[in-house]
Structure 1
Amino acid sequence: MAQPILQILRAALLALLAAWAAPALAVEGPPSDAQLSQRGAFTGIIGKLRSIHTPNGIDTLEQVEIGGVKQWISIRGRDKANPVLLVLHGGPGTPTLPLTWAYQNGWEDYFTVVNWEQRGAGKNWQSTDGEKLAPTMSLDRLVDDAAEVIGALRGKLGQRRVVVMGFSYGTWIGTALALKHPELISAYVGVGQVFDDAERDVYNGGLAEARRQHNEAAIKGLEALAPYPNPDGTIDITKIIEVRKWVKAVGGGWYGWSDLELLYQLPVLSPEYDAKDLMGWPIGNSWFGMSLGKELKEGPQLERRGLAFKMPVFFFMGRHDLMTPYVTAQRYFGKLSAPAKTFVTFENASHFVMLEEPGRFLVELVGKVRPVATARE
């Protein structure tokens, strides 16, 4: 890809980071030509390893019409009688589908796992008219899309309710969906759960960790941004970007690492994505965040939507998560009510718990969530 194009992409991605969104997965750029040229041999092996050939299994990847817009949906599982698990990806606008080869295989023994790529994002970008679609973008529209996806799954898989798992920005959608449509959901799982007024926790947590590590560069960098947020509650765009740079540097994104380079390399090996999808992944990510615009800058404002859930609620949180802070999730968990609620802490993880502690994540998912989903179906 020509250098000017790369520069344009990177500039667009910086614009996305200017949004409030406590980002789960801010994509740093498209893969290199060298990575693309080498990927074929490896994606074929990974795809074969992950192939589903059980009698009652399912493995589909298709673009269907949701909310009047074509959107990609992956459905994978070794037994269609298992509970359905719908994953709402974060970003905003960054699907986890091209990462699933690295952690999802075990899930598919116990759930029928659905990865839905939200309007304009991921594989959808190739067929998206961004200018035309942008006015439709809002949290409420994404919630309605999610409800329509569940309706389609009920018809296709014959189950009345599904488990909804939101990841980071996907927890905005997931909690709003659970409150609006409890009849569709057997259990709600928030992974990297967000809540209101998290920015103060992002900053304070990052600074405390920098001091604990004696990371002088991070300490100086964060202290130079004070006060954060501003006394009137507003947040400067440049400060948002800088705070997250230092949070990643102290392991607040991936525990024990000062960057997310490995995370950004995983999509290159995805059997579900071709070269054009990989190029579109960061572009769609940037467009998605900019299209949501004002909503992201104002924050989730989840409390105004309600705190009373009508299904069991689970929070899966990395102890060291500073992107969607652990303490923020604790505050939300303490406020909400539900027939049953469970807070699971992953002691050796930050934000990407399914990658950082994949075995423990599977054990908790199967041991705690699956029995509830089965009972409520």
Structure 2
Amino acid sequence: MNDNFKTNKRISMLQQLLINDCEQTVMINGDDRSNPLLLFLHGGPGTPQIGYARKYQKKLEEHFTVVNWDQRGAGLSYSKDIPESSMTLDQLTADTIHLTERLCKQFGRQKVYIAGYSWGSVLALHVLQKRSDLYYAYIGISQVVNIQKEEAEAYRQLTAWSRERKHRLLQKTLDFIGAPPWDGQVQRSLFLLCIEMKGGGFTHNPIGALKAGGRMLFGEPYGVRGSFLAARGQMFSLKHLWEDLIFFDAGKSVSSIEIPCCFMSGKFDLTVPGTTSYEYYQKVEAPYKEWHWFENSAHSPHLEEPDRFAEVVSRFASFHL
């Protein structure tokens, strides 16, 4: 355990933990260690946020002890020695449960809150199907429901917008790609570029994505070496987890969640259009559920509107301890 900064209440640490025979990196921060624990599952697959998370979660740390975790094969948890056979959704589910149990023991808690962002929302739903008893409530950010349906909806919205605005470059690129489903990653990569052109990608304002990337590349604890590992880890994770993601269908496999849920999407999101997430929110059965639109965000409302995100999550959590 590397405890970089500690007072009687505040906690700030970076840990290397052995989770199911694989060394993985966990960052824990909060203003008061007696606050509830919030485990954050990052997106991707393989897109960690330890490198820039602290900048955006200051308000969140007033209410929670926030746990950011580089999942197996991602970021500072990437290693060329990780068995490829272990890179499965089932294994990451087991890792999440193991980490949660470790956190409960370390902090003397019975349960934690769990937040899943994009790919992390897929992982979270799998975890909750197995061990919902470990969690007070679930926060679904840019909730993935069915990637194939989401790509089709995003293509429809982009095509309609480009024709309405007579955006020739976007129109020609979309015509060249053709409507999904696609056989390879080339079309998908071009499509993601189109989404960024429209402001529906990682952040609605492209400056936001550049700032996050800059903090990751030039700040602690990543820096150049950590950013290089993150790039390697993202390719590694996508290669082995993509099928788990592309064939996931929450509507069919997760019709109910046994704990309270809070879902949120950015109004401009075209990576995972909020309309599909909202349809799932309406249908899924849960003891309590609520929905929030973030009017100034695309795919990353927790980064684009961090103060509002902290307010929504802390208010939601206060009812479900």
Letter of the structure 1 residue corresponding to residue 263 of structure 2? F
Instruction: Confirm or deny: 8 A CA contact 2:97 2:127 kept in the other structure.
Output: yes
For structure 2, list consecutive stretches of 5 or more residues without a partner in the other structure: none
**TM-score scaled by length of structure 2:** 0.92
246, 267, 270: which one pairs with 1:322? 270
Instruction: Rate the CA distance shift 1:372–1:269 in 2: closer, same or farther, 3 A.
Output: farther
Cα shift readout 1:333-356 (whole Å, capped 9, x = no counterpart)? 122010111111001110111221
For structure 1, list consecutive stretches of 5 or more residues without a partner in the other structure: 1-50
Indicate yes or no: 2:198 matched with 1:250: yes
Instruction: Confirm or deny: 8 A CA contact 1:176 1:302 kept in the other structure.
Output: no
* Other structure's SS at 1:183 match: helix
* Other structure's SS at 1:292 match: helix
Instruction: Confirm or deny: 8 A CA contact 1:101 1:270 kept in the other structure.
Output: no
How far 1:291 sits from its partner (Å)? 2.0
**Distance in structure 1 (CA, Å) of the matches to 2:165 and 2:303:** 23
* Other structure's SS at 2:109 match: coil
Instruction: Rate the CA distance shift 1:365–1:52 in 2: closer, same or farther, 3 A.
Output: farther
Alignment partner, residue 264 of structure 1: 213
Letter of the structure 2 residue corresponding to residue 92 of structure 1? P
Indicate yes or no: 2:77 matched with 1:90: no
90, 99, 104: which one pairs with 2:52? 99
46, 57, 61: which one pairs with 1:108? 61
Letter of the structure 2 residue corresponding to residue 188 of structure 1? Y
Alignment partner, residue 134 of structure 2: 184
Indicate yes or no: 2:40 matched with 1:122: no
Cα shift readout 1:207-243 (whole Å, capped 9, x = no counterpart)? 23334544221122113333322xxxx6443221221
The within-5 A match list for 1:22-61 is 53-61=6-14
* Other structure's SS at 1:323 match: coil
Name the stretch that deviates more: 191-200 or 215-224.
215-224
Indicate yes or no: 2:66 matched with 1:66: no
Instruction: Confirm or deny: 8 A CA contact 2:152 2:179 kept in the other structure.
Output: no
How far 1:54 sits from its partner (Å)? 4.0
**Distance in structure 1 (CA, Å) of the matches to 2:176 and 2:313:** 41
Aligned length: 315
Higher RCO (C-alpha 8 Å, min separation 6) = 1
**TM-score scaled by length of structure 1:** 0.79
* Other structure's SS at 1:71 match: strand
The within-5 A match list for 1:164-313 is 164-196=114-146, 197-229=149-181, 235-253=183-201, 254-257=203-206, 260-296=209-245, 298-313=246-261
* Other structure's SS at 1:97 match: coil
Letter of the structure 2 residue corresponding to residue 116 of structure 1? W
Letter of the structure 2 residue corresponding to residue 321 of structure 1? D
Cα shift readout 1:35-65 (whole Å, capped 9, x = no counterpart)? xxxxxxxxxxxxxxxx865412222211111
**Distance in structure 2 (CA, Å) of the matches to 1:129 and 1:347:** 41
Instruction: Rate the CA distance shift 1:349–1:177 in 2: closer, same or farther, 3 A.
Output: same
Instruction: Confirm or deny: 8 A CA contact 2:73 2:87 kept in the other structure.
Output: no
Cα shift readout 1:267-286 (whole Å, capped 9, x = no counterpart)? 02432224321221111111
Instruction: Rate the CA distance shift 1:109–1:258 in 2: closer, same or farther, 3 A.
Output: closer
**Distance in structure 2 (CA, Å) of the matches to 1:116 and 1:105:** 17
* Other structure's SS at 1:224 match: helix
Letter of the structure 1 residue corresponding to residue 274 of structure 2? Y
Q: Which 4+ residue blocks in structure 1 deviate beyond 6 angstroms?
A: none
Instruction: Confirm or deny: 8 A CA contact 1:251 1:258 kept in the other structure.
Output: no
Alignment partner, residue 147 of structure 1: 97
**Distance in structure 1 (CA, Å) of the matches to 2:5 and 2:320:** 23
Alignment partner, residue 7 of structure 1: none
Letter of the structure 1 residue corresponding to residue 170 of structure 2? A
How far 1:293 sits from its partner (Å)? 4.2
Alignment partner, residue 372 of structure 1: 319
**Distance in structure 1 (CA, Å) of the matches to 2:57 and 2:264:** 16
Instruction: Rate the CA distance shift 1:156–1:326 in 2: closer, same or farther, 3 A.
Output: same
**Distance in structure 1 (CA, Å) of the matches to 2:220 and 2:209:** 21
